[in-house]
């Protein structure tokens, strides 16, 4: 792993630890930006019955949902390029793993309820 020598502190800092923390922070912020669970306050409980799920029909409904998943693929590819890239085949493999993580997070993380 890469090692940086910090002159002011007279000690060695490992870049891997910082990169892991930045990766986790970036992953959580991507979940929040994409309105994925547990940050999906854009869809309230009342909107699940009468929101855009029922207002849009057929083609527009499919376009909205495809746009969400295309954004997940794009963000997964961006994440793999920023943090994990070494070759083209690894971009494809890590994009699949990271995309699976975002879809898995939607299914397993609990949805925050706003109690009023």
Question: Position of tokens 């991507």?
Answer: 30
Tell me whether residue 116 is exposed, middle or buried, using C-beta atoms within 10 angstroms of its C-beta: 0 to 12, 13 to 18, 19 or more.
exposed
On average, the pLDDT of the chain sits at 76
pLDDT in tens, 39-78: 666 555 555 565 555 666 778 778 878 888 898 899 999 9
What is the rounded average pLDDT of the residues 84-93?
A: 85
From the list 67, 48, 68, 65, the residue with the least C-alpha distance to 57 is 65
Neighbours of 25 (CB within 10 A): 10
Decide if 98 contacts 34 (C-beta within 8 A).
no
């Amino acid at each position: 792993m890469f090692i940086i020598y910090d002159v002011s502190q007279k000690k060695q800092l490992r870049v891997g630890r910082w990169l892991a923390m930045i990766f986790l922070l970036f992953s959580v912020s991507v979940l929040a930006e994409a309105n994925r669970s547990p940050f999906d306050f854009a869809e309230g409980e009342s909107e699940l019955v009468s929101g855009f799920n029922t207002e849009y029909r057929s083609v527009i409904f499919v376009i909205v949902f495809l746009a969400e998943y295309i954004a997940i693929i794009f963000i997964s590819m961006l994440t793999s390029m920023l943090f994990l890239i070494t070759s083209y085949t690894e971009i494809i493999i890590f994009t699949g793993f990271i995309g699976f993580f975002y879809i898995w997070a939607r299914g397993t993380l609990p949805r925050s309820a706003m109690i009023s």
